Amino acid sequence: MKVSKGKGPVRKEKKEVLKPVVEDRKVGKRKAAIEADKSRRKLAKNAKLGKKDPNKPKRPASAFFVFLEEFRTIYKQEHPNVKAVSAVGKAGGEKWKSMSHAEKAPYEAKAAKRKSEYEKLMKAYNNKEEDTDDEEEEVAEKSKPIVKDDEEEESGEEDDEEEDDDDDED
């Protein structure tokens, strides 16, 4: 039974050993605070970006993605059992890397054609945006109220004279 008395101080030492672990938890809280701060930044960034306009033209596909459009159909015919999108992408990437510049040329030409069409659409889109912005500014200027300050000052002077008369009655 005396043996149990000896364990008492040992347990206290173990508690002291555990105390630095609590300090480690503070570091974890700091990490959590940093992560929360990062998520706030992302939310702020998204708020700055605003809503996307559904009428805005989509960006054109690059030469590689033009190649992938055709490659997908060929790959699916050759490998009907493979349904993973990642497998198609990996196989397409390997094939694209192994192709020469001459083999890539038709896809690059198609991508350049799509890019020129996109630029025309963007010019038209930007011109429409400028027109609508000008109209909104004109409407905002017309709706501003006109405030007259002269009338308010004259009515305030009469009230002061009446208060002075009340003090004389005492």
* pLDDT for the residue numbered 92: 95
* pLDDT for the residue numbered 32: 64
pTM of the full structure: 0.50
* pLDDT for the residue numbered 37: 72
* pLDDT for the residue numbered 7: 56
The answer to whether residues 111 and 66 touch, using CB atoms and an 8 Å cutoff, is yes
**pLDDT, tens digit, for every residue of 108-127?**
999 999 999 999 999 999 99
Q: Give CA 124 to chain center in angstroms.
A: 26
* pLDDT for the residue numbered 51: 78
Superfamily of domain 62-132 in CATH is High mobility group box domain (1.10.30.10)
**Residue 156: Cβ-neighbour burial (10 angstroms; 0-12, 13-18, 19+):** exposed
Q: Write out residues in the chain with pLDDT < 50, as ranges.
A: 22, 24, 170
* pLDDT for the residue numbered 95: 95
Q: By three-state DSSP, how is residue 99 classified?
A: coil
* pLDDT for the residue numbered 170: 47
* pLDDT for the residue numbered 71: 94
Domain segments of the chain as ranges: 62-132
